[in-house]
Structure 1
Amino acid sequence: MIVTGSQVRQGLNTWFVLPLRRTAIGLGCAGVATLFSACGQTQALITNQTIQGFVDQVVVPSYVSVAAGATQLEQALQTYQQAPTAANLEAARQAWRVARDRWEQTECFAFGPADSEGFDGAIDTWPIDRQGLKTAAAQPVEQREDSRKGFHAIEELLFAATEPTLSDRQHLVILATDLTKQAQGLVTRWQQASDQPAYRSVLLSAGSADSAYPTLNAAGTEIVQGLVDSLSEVASEKIGGPLETQEPDRFESFVSRNTLSDLRNNWTGAWNVYRGQRSDGGAAGSLQQRLQQQHPVIAQQLDQQFATARQALWAIPEPIETNLASPRGKVAVLTAQTAIAAVSDTLERQVLPLVQ
């Protein structure tokens, strides 16, 4: 996550896309109102099945996977601390990449406990406090600012130009242990009740009188807005900042050269939410299926835009950090940025009004 903690993500930069409009464009009807009247569309877009698929097929298994990856990273760093060989260093770096990839697929549902209870900030604040990180080893990790822990603090030490020192290796284990704790805590908050109800049950209770989501559409708005925010952040900040300034070190995972993988996994996470599952194919009751049934033109447009964005992201030459300045790289990055912005724009202008 760019900047700090769980800040509200900014809108798309107007220098590369048309201004966003919150009114629906005509797709056989004149606007939002006629989408429900003249077109005869009276069914609710979001159903209990939509929400349950989102929670049980996407959110919870994704967070469980992140926690498993964090545990594997912690174990790899413990092994490297005990036996600091080149092979163990590379194994730890690969474990970081795996855990990172899994986390980046969760960016489009960084609401609920991830936001309100600070898990997102503790796991993925960027940029980090590089100077503070150097002196933070003696400070209990629980007392640190988010900018001195999490994925990017580990990245800074693990992928440094020089091999980690003994002190660095000890510090890495401390950071990884906290990362595992945060990731497991996020899983627990979604699955288990304590002094508060499990967030899974909060979402699944949408539409009931005492729910935090008084209507199904309220939950649907949360889901669709998460997609909009994540993809607009990818386009305007994660890609847009470095592209505009031509400063590769503004890419979020610059140190590890993992930025392109971050971006591709952001796309994958959004695609999973749209289809209501993490495996191939579309799930019954998913946002994609509901749109196909009720608003097939919008669904067809989104399917094509998602496919175009994927093709553009996978066409960027690797690593993006060293290819940004090349003519081919710059064109490829701009093409991907525009394609991702188009998906976000359609979700915001044409889908979000259907659930608000």
Structure 2
Amino acid sequence: MIVTGSQVRQGLNTWFVLPLRRTAIGLGCAGVATLFSACGQTQALITNQTIQGFVDQVVVPSYVSVAAGATQLEQALQTYQQAPTAANLEAARQAWRVARDRWEQTECFAFGPADSEGFDGAMDTWPIDRQGLKTAAAQPVEQREDSRKGFHAIEELLFAATEPTLSDRQHLVILATDLTKQAQGLVTRWQQASDQPAYRSVLLSAGSTDSAYPTLNAAGTEIVQGLVDSLSEVASEKIGGPLETQEPDRFESFVSRNTLSDLRNNWTGAWNVYRGQRSDGVAAGSLQQRLQQQHPVIAQQLDQQFATARQALWAIPEPIETNLASPRGKVAVLTAQTAIAAVSDTLERQVLPLVQ
């Protein structure tokens, strides 16, 4: 069974609305100072500090980390091509896992250049064209369809049941070189201006008259919507599809058995955005802190839901691909799906309206 937004929503309304109404009725205008700067005048949830923390503490460092991971993967595959030993094969596979985990933490801010300039498609299209990949080795990678390159094309060749052939090893290096190029290009587009302004500058200019984001809330909407979309995809598609059909090969990283790590890193990326940083603690001006200051009931609810979702994801027996059919595995996967859907639902129904 796939848990729908309305099913989760029904449970949340009972928990959330009544305590908020009691607070408003019991305290009156003066008692809700954390929600209003003056009676009838709401404080802005999103500030320049919120956006700067999101960009400089989460987005840019995350993409820099992805680019470093892609470079290390490329180097590992070059080593494996030159010396195709079992140890070098395992080292290359581990380098893929590391780069993949870092990439999955960026799913909740796959807007801007990642979307409009095709970096996301070039790096992470799935499902891939397996048949086309077999005949694509001689085709320049920049001329290929996205379904014949990126993380999953590398995964298909690197984690195949049979050891990669010489042709496969050469192909893997070509694919990894392009992956590095795409990852570095994404970093460049966020950090450096060319014929277009750096996207970091675009977001940080939110609220100015000539900005692509005419208000701070417009940038805030982009950030919160990214969280909603990513977590909704995790619940309804990445987990929901295989859970509904009981077909484990519908898990995105089925070949490498890395799907559960994908999902956990999707959670981590969303948690980082919510807290405004990749390290422990709560960043000043972060979405989490702003909600704690202005809408503490919502903040408490989200904190608990994030914690519940984490506990549920880490409770799924590994690998998820082979445990989906077991009674214990099925219950654990369904529990995680429900918990992640709850986070997405609260963000969409309770937080998104605050920034629109």
TM over 0.5: yes
**Relative to 1, partners in 2 of residues 1:21 and 1:246: Cα closer, same or farther, differing over 3 Å?**
farther
The answer to whether the 8 A contact 1:316-1:333 is kept is: yes
The answer to whether the 8 A contact 2:141-2:149 is kept is: yes
TM-fit CA distance, 1:8? 22
**Relative to 1, partners in 2 of residues 1:222 and 1:25: Cα closer, same or farther, differing over 3 Å?**
farther
| Residue 313, structure 1, aligned to residue 351, structure 2 | no
The answer to whether the 8 A contact 1:67-1:180 is kept is: yes
The answer to whether the 8 A contact 1:203-1:219 is kept is: yes
2:27 counterpart SS class: coil
Superimposed CA distance per residue, residues 56-100 of structure 1 (whole angstroms, 9 cap, x where no aligned partner): 000000000000000000000000000000000000000000000
Superimposed CA distance per residue, residues 199-232 of structure 1 (whole angstroms, 9 cap, x where no aligned partner): 0000000000000000000000000000000000
The answer to whether the 8 A contact 2:35-2:294 is kept is: no
Q: Distance in 1 between matches of 2:149 and 2:159?
A: 15
**Relative to 1, partners in 2 of residues 1:16 and 1:59: Cα closer, same or farther, differing over 3 Å?**
same
TM-fit CA distance, 1:185? 0.1
Find the counterpart in structure 2 of residue 323 from structure 1: 323
Aligned residues: 356
2:21 counterpart SS class: coil
TM-fit CA distance, 1:36? 5.9
TM-fit CA distance, 1:42? 1.4
TM-fit CA distance, 1:198? 0.1
The answer to whether the 8 A contact 1:51-1:219 is kept is: yes
TM-fit CA distance, 1:124? 0.2
Q: Distance in 2 between matches of 1:34 and 1:260?
A: 39
2:25 counterpart SS class: coil
Measured on the aligned residues, the alpha-carbon RMSD in Å equals 5.4
Superimposed CA distance per residue, residues 103-134 of structure 1 (whole angstroms, 9 cap, x where no aligned partner): 00000000000000000000000000000000
Identical pairs, percent: 99
Q: Distance in 2 between matches of 1:251 and 1:135?
A: 24
The answer to whether the 8 A contact 1:313-1:336 is kept is: yes
TM-fit CA distance, 1:40? 5.6
Q: Distance in 1 between matches of 2:27 and 2:121?
A: 40
**Relative to 1, partners in 2 of residues 1:240 and 1:6: Cα closer, same or farther, differing over 3 Å?**
closer
Q: Distance in 2 between matches of 1:117 and 1:11?
A: 39
The list of structure 1 runs, each at least 4 consecutive aligned residues, that deviate by more than 4 angstroms after superposition, is 1-41
Q: Distance in 2 between matches of 1:147 and 1:220?
A: 32
Superimposed CA distance per residue, residues 291-324 of structure 1 (whole angstroms, 9 cap, x where no aligned partner): 0000000000000000000000000000000000
The answer to whether the 8 A contact 1:312-1:339 is kept is: yes
The answer to whether the 8 A contact 2:46-2:290 is kept is: yes
The answer to whether the 8 A contact 1:292-1:299 is kept is: yes
Q: Distance in 2 between matches of 1:11 and 1:156?
A: 41
Taking the TM superposition and a 5 Å limit, the aligned residue runs for 1:1-356 are: 42-356=42-356
TM-score, normalised by the number of residues in structure 1? 0.91
Q: Which has the higher helix share?
A: 2
**Bigger Cα displacement from structure 2, 131-140 vs 26-35:** 26-35
1:45 counterpart SS class: coil
**Relative to 1, partners in 2 of residues 1:6 and 1:352: Cα closer, same or farther, differing over 3 Å?**
closer
Superimposed CA distance per residue, residues 161-182 of structure 1 (whole angstroms, 9 cap, x where no aligned partner): 0000000000000000000000
Q: Distance in 2 between matches of 1:23 and 1:235?
A: 32
Q: Distance in 2 between matches of 1:141 and 1:102?
A: 23
Q: Distance in 2 between matches of 1:59 and 1:106?
A: 7
The answer to whether the 8 A contact 2:67-2:184 is kept is: yes
Show structure 2 runs of 5+ residues with no match: none
The answer to whether the 8 A contact 2:2-2:240 is kept is: no
TM-fit CA distance, 1:14? 19
1:37 counterpart SS class: strand
Show structure 1 runs of 5+ residues with no match: none
The answer to whether the 8 A contact 1:48-1:216 is kept is: yes
The answer to whether the 8 A contact 2:5-2:345 is kept is: no
The answer to whether the 8 A contact 1:23-1:349 is kept is: no
The answer to whether the 8 A contact 2:8-2:341 is kept is: no
**Relative to 1, partners in 2 of residues 1:150 and 1:106: Cα closer, same or farther, differing over 3 Å?**
same
Superimposed CA distance per residue, residues 5-25 of structure 1 (whole angstroms, 9 cap, x where no aligned partner): 999999999999999999999
Q: Distance in 2 between matches of 1:232 and 1:22?
A: 31
2:285 counterpart SS class: coil
